[in-house]
Amino acid sequence: MRPATDLRQKVLDASVELIAEGGLDRLSLREVARKAGVSHQAPYHYFSDREAILAAVAGHGFEKLGDSLERAASRHAAEPGGAVEAMGQAYVDFALRYPGYFQAMFRADAVPLDNHPEARKREDEAFSELVDRIGEAFADQPEAVKRQVAVGCWAMAHGLATLMLEGSLARKLNIPKGRQKKIAGDTIATIVRLLGPSGG
């Protein structure tokens, strides 16, 4: 990459790493700068403030999530409910693999995306991918039910992801964190089956 945008990328990478390590709150501009080997004000040349960095991270995260969902869905479009299940798994996988991104994406208090339309757009795309595809899998249901099922599945995936990251799920079920992913997968599979999807 050109030296002009070199530091910009370094800042973003360092940010994701720091968030993943210690949570969003521990992300300090100055530590990012230190990690990148520049002065504490250097990041300001590329980002107007701390919030702008987080918004960029969030936007990038939503893009990754959207891609992930899309790949998962198209890989399992054949079996009924296959896409729904695969997307749910992908959602949870994403959260576990990229906790730094996930936090930046879903902490409206720390990162008000209203001020960052590009990131907001990526969010919209990702969620549309998810919700619309779920709707397709329940094509034989009335419109209202279709939408409610879509929202319900989305919420379940999101809930699983956050409860896993937080640790509540493993604690309540009394399982090691390593097994969380499998449990989440089984849960999604069972629920989707019970909901009785008719299409991909």
Binding partner of 175, given DNA, its own copies, none, CB within 5-8 angstroms per partner class: none
Under 8 Å between Cβ of 52 and 93: no
Comparison of 28 and 162: residue with beta carbon closer to DNA: 28
Q: How far apart are CA 179 and CA 7, in angstroms?
A: 38
Contact stretch for DNA (CB under 7 A) within 45-53, 93-101, 117-125, 158-166: 45-53
Q: Report the residue number, 29 or 149, with the smaller CB distance to DNA.
A: 29
d(CA 15, CA 57): 8
Window of 24-32, 75-83, 118-126, 130-138 that interacts with DNA by CB under 7 A: 24-32
Interface residue with DNA among 21, 22, 39, 166 (CB under 7 A) is: 39
Burial class (CB in 10 A: 0-12, 13-18, 19+), 4: exposed
Q: Which does 117 bind (CB under 5 to 8 A by kind): DNA, its own copies, none?
A: none
Q: Which of 28, 141, 162, 187 binds DNA (CB under 7 A)?
A: 28
| Residues 127-146, interacting with DNA (CB under 7 A) | none
The conformation of residue 149, written as its DSSP 8-state character, comes to: H
Q: What character string, x for contact with DNA (CB under 7 A) and - otherwise, covers 49-88?
A: xxx-------------------------------------
* HSE of 38, CA atoms in CB hemisphere, 13 A: 17
Question: Tokens 């959602």 appear where?
Answer: 91
Q: Binding of DNA at residue 38 (CB under 7 A)?
A: yes
Q: Which residues of 25-60 are buried (b: 16+ CB within 10 A; e: fewer)?
A: eebebeebbebbeeeeebbeebbeebebbbbbbbbb
The site for DNA (CB under 7 A) is made up of 4, 6-7, 27-31, 33, 38-42, 44-45, 49-51
